[in-house]
Structure 1
Amino acid sequence: MPNLHQRLQLYTQGNDAYVFVPIDTAGAQSLTVHRSSGELVLNPPHSLPPSARPSSKKLLYGLLGIISLSLSEYVVVVTGREFKGRLLGHDIYRATDFDLLPLGQNINVFNPPHPVEAHLLNLVRAHLNGGVFLFSYTWDLTRRLQSQWETREKDAERPFWETADDRFFLEQTRLIELTMGNTSQDLSPYILPIMYGTFDIRNATLQGRTMQICLISRRSRFRAGTRYFRRGIDHTGHVANFNETEQLLLVEDSQPGEFGTQMSFVQIRGSVPVFWAEVNTLRYKPDLQIMDLPDTSDMMRKHLLEQVSIYGDQALVNLVNRKGHEQPVKDAYERYVAQLNLQNVRYQYFDFHNECKNMRWDRISVLIDELEDDLKRYGYFHLTSNQPETVQLQHGTVRTNCMDNLDRTNVVQAALARWTLNQQLRAVGILSNEDSIDAHEDISKDFREMWADHADAIANAYGGSGALKSDFTRTSKRTRKGVLEDGVKSILRYFKNNFFDGARQDGFDLVVGNWVPRKTPSSSMFLITDPRPLITRSAPVLASFSLFMICAGLTLPRTSDYSLFYYFMLWITLLSVALIFIMIHGIDYVSWPRLLPSTDYIYYTGPGFRSAHHGKGFGGDNAPKDALGHVDQRKMAEQREKADFCRSRRGREKSGSISFFLSVLVNS
């Protein structure tokens, strides 16, 4: 497998080109990126263009690719990394700092010549700085251990970018296209697979045996986004918030530092695979929208069969409530699963909140008992150094979901991982059949902390705050303090989801290539302008000023009680009118994505279920209207067509965009 360049020095040829020079690889070919044409050229070994000069003393730790914005393309480079741990002799890093190098001649990334370009650059920076991007120069982080072992011979001489799992690889389109299309120019040493996810590894000793426990999550770059703006399934069969979680147990043999026994247990999570959404209206409970589209069955079948082809048999564990707000989602899921009746897929419902009410979290054991036969049949990956073949393979996975695939899902996945870890330790003779890691506080504490940190990272990526119910994951007990902390996190999620997630979703759509910027920034002024009517924009100003005046009246010296009565009555009335107006028009005050508007589900009028139509004004609907006040289906179709066009990565110039995930994925 070709070595990846681990450290690069940046040189410049005036304003004509960037030259990336490997530092640690003797005789390596440097890479020139011409700014005028965007052409990438490998230079002869031991040579530099004659006019190349060092740009700075800052080292680069990898190229993420080239992203195209309105006025210029930019080379995205990693300028900072954090060591996260060592897995089977391979160093794992997190990218912590990034730079964007413009190819345009007159572009200053800190003072762009147009406000649209400045806005897009801010979206890219916020996405990169807010995500957890992991990489290794010598280990394929995007693939689970079993997958790497099964293709080890075929992959021996192939570069990382060819073997990486496309779902989790933030692919560098330009570099890969040039490598595939030009046999004389192999850019593979510059193509660094980076994924969005989590990584944690802990050393442990149990019964005199040294071991390591590692937890890796991989967040899919498909249908990436935030909690309320990416739900359900799309028209390609991908679901929101899809994560593959792999728990590794490595046991040291007779040689110190040699982990000859390697075990892997994989679980997955993903949004309920039907077309559904929750429409933010500033209320704590958004409006629930389920869309019965003609291709729902086909897309669910495609999604589930893809999981079967990758992981084997599937146990679908659904934790959505059987009553109240969530019930229609549960009913739709069950209806379509029953309609498909797939052979390798088994559905298992668990009424989480009812079973575990009154803090009876030990009741999760009921679900484990129901899944025990599946867990034993699916097994786990087990490899030992003294045998040429595996002891066993994992033949299936548990796919867990709740409404958000965060809090309840985290608790259940941690419980299944604990059950499997006990089975693995018994299989290698470290624990007896009656023993459990719960009886050994050191390893039990590390296990709980790893899963709690993992839960917080996924919840932050998608929901905007740490995971709820994390006190149970960390301590195996549900406490009143934990309930109070969950209340604070829920409030934080509410504010982020309603007032900040629109820009975060735009960052996902821009970086993964769902939206291609127009080359004339003046045509994208809608990104930075406010099209709302003056009265709509004025209501928050009036409410803020009224509240200020009320506070001023309570603190400033008084002249007479009689005048203050009318003073307070005036400002309290204005405050109340402004707040009522804001709640009635709640949708207009939510931070919605601007690159790919959410029109399809906000104003959906087809078959399905809608819990309410809050926040759409006095008429209850703000869909595009014609002269007679009817929903303008032509404009709706135009908006859908525009969104579909933007989603197509080949709708415009594909060259220059990086398909970058994210999932991590990232609000409440």
Structure 2
Amino acid sequence: MRPLHQRFTLFSERNDTYIFVPEGEGQSLTVHRSSGDIVLNPPKHTIPYARQRSDKIIYGILGLISLTLTDYIIVITGRTLQGRLMGHDIYRATEFDILPLAPISAFVPPHAVESHLLALVRSHLQGGNFLFSYNWDVTRRLQAQWDSRETDGGKALWEVVDDRFFWNRFLQAKFIDAATASGNPAFGSYILPIMYGTFEVRPTFLHGRHMQLALISRRSRYRAGTRYFRRGVDHEGNVANFNETEQLLLVEGQTTPGSVRPTEDNFAVKLSFVQIRGSVPLFWSEVNTLRYKPDLQIMDVPETTTAMERHLLTQTKTYGPQSLVNLINHKGHEKPVKDAYERYIAELDLADVKYEYFDFHGECRKMRWDRISVLIDRMKDDLEQYGYFQVSADEPAPRKVQKGIVRTNCMDNLDRTNVVQAALAKYTLNLQLRELGILNATDGVDDFEAFSKEFREMWADHADAIARAYGGSGALKSDFTRTNKRTRKGALEDGYKSVMRYLKNNFFDGARQDGFDLITGNWVPRKNPSAALFLIGDPRPLITRSMPAVASFSLFMICAGLTLPRTSDYSLFYYFLLWFTLFSISMVFIIIHGIDYVAWPRLNPPTEIIYYNGPGYRSGHNGKGLNGKEEPSWKKKKWLTSGSRRTKSGVEEVELGTLKKRVD
């Protein structure tokens, strides 16, 4: 692959251009601020005399985003080295600058809508875990890179990455268009793909062999979002919270005493094991109403079969045969999702798809977490049939290839899924180490505490990162992953994490979801901030907005009354009666109209899900007013005409009230 530029110096010529000059040899790049044109300068291009040099080093161009007033170039100004894998540095982007194309003086003070959208962009950039490498493809698993190694040689990195995990693909669209139109391969050195996910590599030692154990998770940009605002499948077969997780084992050759260990990519054997996770591929959601358990909504529509089939066939085409491990409870709140999932799987009856149900909470109740071995015993045949990828330095072809994959899900694809995926990864790691002769047939990873600790901590950190990205807090049950034990301390920590999830999912995730939709191109603003005033207004009636203030003030007065002097037990009776009454009325009102107090996404509000009344299952109509069907005030406003939603095919859908119009 063609190498990428790793450092730039940024020059600006008055308010006309931004000029990116790469370190060392290479053609500079000019972005014209008035027209937005992106031009690759000829070799040895002279920088204009009347230019201003930025005092920050640019480590990469993330892309260009268009908001309501102007376009902005997003650049990486800070990075940290996450690790070195097979001789390649893997970085995490830590700091960003957003450079406006229009002169700053053109909108001072900035419009409130533009400021809000910029805040969403900054929040998304600072809250995500963005990884990249200048000379290695972090988006593709080792086996996929090996399969295409002969055709990747003369291509730019953006041309070979896995499109699902090319997180800034939408932001790079104008740069890619410019590169395609120019036909100049040097353009590709400026297009830096980034991945939203996790990466960790740790050196280990076992039975005289030096090794590296690495773990990479890759989050799909399709149907991306937060826990309650992105569930299930879309019409194109993409599911929410889809992650590909790859465990790498890199084993150095045996060395003689006193010899120098290699420091670069000189591993004798490289092994890769891949798993995936994703939301249950149905049209379903959980509707927040301030209750701890949201209303469950399953939409039994004719398109479900097609969408599920499209999703599963895409995975089998990519990975081969797959086993679906379902960890959803067989009773209670989750049961309808399990039943619907199994009904459609049986209806499809796909040849390369196996279904395996495991009652996680039932089998592991009373902290019997060792019972996960029951699932491993069931999956042994599939795991050994699917295998793993193995390539040796002294052999021209891989010794083994992974022929299939395990797809694991629970309701959120977080906590139970993390525990099971770690167990499957440990089982496969044992197979790999025994195959290499590093472990005896009767030994396992858990028999070597130092090695086992590295494995457990890596998987626990990985679980926490995925859970924070989707659910808003670290993973539950992570104490078992870290220590191989379920403890009461871990249960208390899970209680705290559950409270944090509740608060974030109800009161903060709406803005987070807007950030996902803006960065991935699911909502494209128009060049008219007045058309998006709904983003900064509050259309709720005064009585709705005032109730939290009434409840807070009443509670304050009750607490204050406890400190007041009294002449008898009845002297403050009417005082407390008044404030208890106001507090009770306000709280009852908030509970009845709970849906109006959830921080919903505003760019793509899920009203068609919340008020779906077709065939399917609905656990309740809580928090929607006294009759349970009243539309919230934020739906009644005519503010859905302000943006457009870009589909995977590049066609825009403009929302006009409840009517969707395609704009080619």
TM range (shorter): over 0.9
Mapped pair 1:590 → 2:598: yes
Q: Distance in 2 between matches of 1:163 and 1:94?
A: 20
Identify which range, 251-260 or 499-508, moves more after superposition: 251-260
* 2:251 matched residue in structure 1: 251
Query: Match of 2:281, SS?
Result: coil
Mapped pair 1:134 → 2:131: yes
Query: Match of 1:506, SS?
Result: helix
Mapped pair 1:92 → 2:97: no
- Which string of whole-angstrom CA distances, capped at 9 and with x for unpartnered residues, describes residues 285-339 of structure 1? 0000000111100010000000000000000000000000000000010000000
**Alpha-carbon contact 2:30-2:41 (below 8 Å) kept:** yes
* 1:660 matched residue in structure 2: none
Q: Distance in 2 between matches of 1:384 and 1:296?
A: 44
Query: Match of 1:167, SS?
Result: helix
Match of 1:150 among 140, 147, 150: 147
Aligned pairs for 1:327-342 (under 5 A) are 327-342=335-350
The CA deviation at 1:64 is 0.5
* 1:82 matched residue in structure 2: 80
The CA deviation at 1:185 is 6.8
Q: Distance in 1 between matches of 2:399 and 2:148?
A: 17
The CA deviation at 1:551 is 1.5
- Which string of whole-angstrom CA distances, capped at 9 and with x for unpartnered residues, describes residues 153-208 of structure 1? 01111111000000000211111111112214741000011000000000000001
The CA deviation at 1:260 is 1.9
**Alpha-carbon contact 2:299-2:616 (below 8 Å) kept:** yes
**Alpha-carbon contact 2:389-2:400 (below 8 Å) kept:** yes
Residue type at the aligned position of 1:180 = T
TM-score (norm 1): 0.93
Match of 1:465 among 473, 483, 486: 473
Query: Match of 2:525, SS?
Result: coil
Match of 2:297 among 286, 289, 302: 289
Q: Which runs of 5+ in 1 are unaligned?
A: 626-631, 654-668
* 1:70 matched residue in structure 2: 68
The CA deviation at 1:137 is 0.4
Q: Distance in 2 between matches of 1:130 and 1:107?
A: 29
Q: 1:252 to 1:645 in 2, by over 3 A?
A: closer
Mapped pair 1:122 → 2:130: no
Aligned pairs for 1:545-560 (under 5 A) are 545-558=553-566
* 1:225 matched residue in structure 2: 225
Identify which range, 185-194 or 319-328, moves more after superposition: 185-194
Q: Distance in 1 between matches of 2:122 and 2:244?
A: 26
Query: Match of 2:652, SS?
Result: coil
Q: CA RMSD in A?
A: 1.9
Q: Distance in 1 between matches of 2:9 and 2:469?
A: 32
Query: Match of 2:571, SS?
Result: helix
TM-score (norm 2): 0.94
* 2:660 matched residue in structure 1: none
Q: Distance in 1 between matches of 2:45 and 2:384?
A: 59
Q: Distance in 2 between matches of 1:63 and 1:146?
A: 28
**Alpha-carbon contact 2:526-2:642 (below 8 Å) kept:** no
Residue type at the aligned position of 2:2 = P
* 1:301 matched residue in structure 2: 309
* 2:208 matched residue in structure 1: 208
- Which string of whole-angstrom CA distances, capped at 9 and with x for unpartnered residues, describes residues 598-639 of structure 1? 1011000110000000000012112389xxxxxx9xx99x99
How many residue pairs get aligned? The number is 641
Residue type at the aligned position of 2:83 = G
* 2:21 matched residue in structure 1: 21
Q: Distance in 2 between matches of 1:577 and 1:283?
A: 18
The CA deviation at 1:49 is 3.4
Q: Distance in 1 between matches of 2:220 and 2:291?
A: 30
Structure with more relative contact order (C-alpha pairs < 8 Å, separation 6 or more): 1
Q: Distance in 2 between matches of 1:162 and 1:591?
A: 38
Aligned pairs for 1:191-202 (under 5 A) are 191-202=191-202
Query: Match of 2:34, SS?
Result: coil
The CA deviation at 1:533 is 0.8
- Which string of whole-angstrom CA distances, capped at 9 and with x for unpartnered residues, describes residues 195-251 of structure 1? 000000000000010000000000000000000000000111100000000000000
The CA deviation at 1:3 is 1.4
**Alpha-carbon contact 2:27-2:186 (below 8 Å) kept:** no
* 2:661 matched residue in structure 1: none
The CA deviation at 1:565 is 1.5
The CA deviation at 1:496 is 0.4
Mapped pair 1:165 → 2:166: no
Mapped pair 1:7 → 2:3: no
Q: Distance in 2 between matches of 1:644 and 1:336?
A: 32
* 2:277 matched residue in structure 1: 269
**Alpha-carbon contact 2:521-2:645 (below 8 Å) kept:** no
Q: Distance in 2 between matches of 1:477 and 1:185?
A: 54
Query: Match of 2:419, SS?
Result: helix
**Alpha-carbon contact 1:11-1:52 (below 8 Å) kept:** no
Query: Match of 1:123, SS?
Result: helix
Query: Match of 1:532, SS?
Result: coil
Residue type at the aligned position of 1:162 = E
Aligned-residue sequence identity (percent) comes to 65
Q: 1:554 to 1:624 in 2, by over 3 A?
A: closer
* 2:420 matched residue in structure 1: 412
Aligned pairs for 1:155-554 (under 5 A) are 155-169=152-166, 170-171=168-169, 172-184=172-184, 186-254=186-254, 256-257=261-262, 258-554=266-562
**Alpha-carbon contact 1:539-1:582 (below 8 Å) kept:** yes
